[in-house]
Chains A and B, each alone.
Chain A
Amino acid sequence: MSNLKPALILFSHGSLLCGAGETLREHAERLRATEEYLAVEYGYLNYSLPSFEEAAERCAAAGAVQIVVVPYFLVSGKFVREDLPPRIEAARREHPQIEFILAEPLGFHEEMTAAVLEMAAMARPPEHWRHDMLAAPDFCAHRPDCPLFGSPICPVTAEATGGHP
């Protein structure tokens, strides 16, 4: 067993919709700040970047010998049970020196209860309900199959036209 700290990958589904990556970046930044891990990366199954494979590549480049993959999912559904394991298997073949360990998704825990109560305590009146999507273009794949593509509420459209679609 190595004395090196483990690396951690947050695994998520990915989305055609902009803004979906913002949250994962926040979690990764908080986890990095704990200095418990050699590296903290996030990677997606579909659509969004970086891909799961890129995240594994980055951990390998950091010298990881052990990577724990934590699914950023509420429950263990098809994506976690069926789609993720073959991707981990492929990453194992690509990086045979690295031990990959799959963690459970969030599921039930008192931290989820605390999260609900925290968000409830910060609840706001209607003028604040439509959460701003300023960071969204950072995570946009700008794909024509996105339902918002080219529409007035597409943040990339808004940015390109100075907020006047």
Chain B
Amino acid sequence: MTRALLIMVHGSPRPEANADVYRVAEAVKGSRTFDHVEVGFLECNQPDILKAVENCLATGATQITAVAYFLHTGSHVCEDLPGLLEEARKRHPEVEFLMGSYVGRSPHVTALLARRGTEALTRSRGIS
């Protein structure tokens, strides 16, 4: 089985806003958990989600795991992204598609929020 990870991102009219998610994608590649890692966008940027699925398949993927790089639930996470993946499944019934929850659910994000708070408090003590 050849496993691909598809990181699904909202997209931004400011493409530089996507720099961090590409760094995350590189770090995931470095972990060697997946044979291929792809980023796909719901709006504004390319590749879109369905094109990103095609890119995964072009690398020989037989299983695609999709994760929403979103902080909140809502209509994108509950409706739009599953709808696109269902469309991709119809086109490629031979491929196994899995979808994870959105990253905002993760306790790792809670830990990072605490870290950002601590960094700011440390900086403020440094200048006072």
Interface of A with B (CB < 8 Å)?
Answer: 1, 6, 8, 10, 12, 15, 17-20, 22-24, 26-27, 30-31, 34, 36, 66, 68, 70, 72-75, 77, 99, 101-126, 128-131, 133, 136, 147-148, 153
| Number of chain B residues whose Cβ lies closer than 8 Å to a Cβ of chain A | 60
Instruction: List the 3 closest pairs (A to B, CB-CB), nearest first.
Output: A115-B106, A103-B120, A119-B100
Which of B73, B85, B114, B117 sits near A126, CB closer than 8 Å? B85
Known: A30-B110, A125-B98. 19 other contacts (CB 8 A): A15-B72, A22-B72, A22-B73, A23-B102, A30-B107, A70-B120, A77-B14, A101-B120, A105-B116, A109-B115, A113-B24, A116-B103, A123-B65, A123-B66, A124-B99, A129-B85, A131-B73, A131-B78, A148-B75
| Chain A-chain B contacts (Cβ-Cβ < 8 Å), number | 176
Complex contacts, A105 vs chain B, CB 8 Å = 116
Q: Are B111 and A111 in contact, with the CB atoms below 8 A?
A: yes
B23 at the interface (CB under 8 A from A): yes
Complex contacts, A111 vs chain B, CB 8 Å = 108-109, 111-112, 115
Q: Mark B12-35, 1 if CB is under 8 A from A, else 0.
A: 101001011101100110010110
Q: Are B74 and A108 in contact, with the CB atoms below 8 A?
A: no
Indicate whether A99 sits within 8 Å of B116 (C-beta atoms), given known contacts A111-B111, A116-B7: no
Q: Are A118 and B106 in contact, with the CB atoms below 8 A?
A: yes
Q: Are B20 and A101 in contact, with the CB atoms below 8 A?
A: no
Q: Are B31 and A112 in contact, with the CB atoms below 8 A?
A: no
Most buried by B among A10, A99, A111, A153: A111
Which of A15, A26, A113, A126 sits near B105, CB closer than 8 Å? A26
Q: Are A75 and B17 in contact, with the CB atoms below 8 A?
A: yes
Cα A20 to Cα B73 with chains together (Å): 5
Q: Are B71 and A74 in contact, with the CB atoms below 8 A?
A: yes
> Closest B-chain residue to A9, C-beta based?
B117
Q: Tell me the smallest distance from the CB of B37 to a CB of chain A, in Å.
A: 9
B49 at the interface (CB under 8 A from A): no
Indicate whether A130 sits within 8 Å of B65 (C-beta atoms), given known contacts A20-B72, A120-B5, A124-B98: no
**11 chain-A/chain-B pairs, Cβ below 8 angstroms:** A10-B113, A12-B72, A17-B74, A106-B112, A106-B113, A109-B112, A116-B103, A124-B98, A126-B82, A126-B89, A131-B102
